[in-house]
Amino acid sequence: MKAAFVSLLVALLAGCADLPRDPDRTSEHIAASRSVRIGLVPGDTRFAAAARTRFLKSLTAATTARPVFVSGSTETLLQQLERGELDLVLTPLDPDSPWVTRVTPGPPLADKGTGERRVQYHAVMRNGENRWIMTVEKASRASADPGADT
């Protein structure tokens, strides 16, 4: 009886080895191509430049993939992200934007202002790509605190 329980437990744990998963295989694509497709808005806020640089360094270290940049408007880039044409978009994102429910903003990389004038700069990912979201969130936290583990 005990051996059957142990065997069942081992089988269940083996099935969890791939969790969290990316249904659209974002992490696998990045590992295979060794590149991360990143959308950037031209002329976006300068207040986030240092945070963006720290984040990209942390993300590159975590993935060993080189960034490939695509520029465009926030709306266009977020549409490309939703279609899987981009892996990530770096942009200021209003917390009241309808996009907040359609994509997954990571922790703020930088912010300025207060109240209704507060602007936060995020790394934004596709909804549901949980392994990739965890990787980006970890890189975001590490870049927000330069002394944090990557």
User: What is the domain-level CATH number for residue 86?
Assistant: 3.40.190.10
- Which carries the bigger pLDDT value, residue 42 or residue 38? 38
pLDDT tens-digit readout, 55-70: 999 999 999 999 999 9
112 falls within a domain:
yes
120 CB contacts (<8 Å, ≥6 apart)?
Answer: 92, 93, 95, 108, 110, 111
Report the pLDDT value the prediction gives residue 56, as an integer from 0 to 100.
96
Whole-angstrom distance, CA of residue 112 vs CA of residue 65: 30
pLDDT-based confidence at residue 150 (cuts at 50, 70, 90):
very low
How many structural domains comprise the chain? 1
Report the pLDDT value the prediction gives residue 22, as an integer from 0 to 100.
79
Whether 26 shows a pLDDT value over 60: the answer reads yes
* Residues 58/90, Cβ–Cβ less than 8 Å: no
* Residues 109/123, Cβ–Cβ less than 8 Å: yes
Whole-angstrom distance, CA of residue 85 vs CA of residue 140: 22
45 falls within a domain:
yes
Report the pLDDT value the prediction gives residue 146, as an integer from 0 to 100.
53
pLDDT tens-digit readout, 86-142: 999 999 988 888 999 999 999 999 988 888 788 889 999 999 999 999 999 999 998
pTM for the full predicted model: 0.81
58 falls within a domain:
yes
19 falls within a domain:
no
98 falls within a domain:
yes
Whether 8 shows a pLDDT value over 50: the answer reads no
Residue span of the structural domain in which 29 resides: 25-144
134 CB contacts (<8 Å, ≥6 apart)?
Answer: 20
127 falls within a domain:
yes
pLDDT-based confidence at residue 3 (cuts at 50, 70, 90):
low
Mean pLDDT, residues 12-33: 75
Report the pLDDT value the prediction gives residue 108, as an integer from 0 to 100.
92
92 falls within a domain:
yes
Q: Is the dihedral of CA 65, 67, 68, 71 positive or negative?
A: positive
38 falls within a domain:
yes
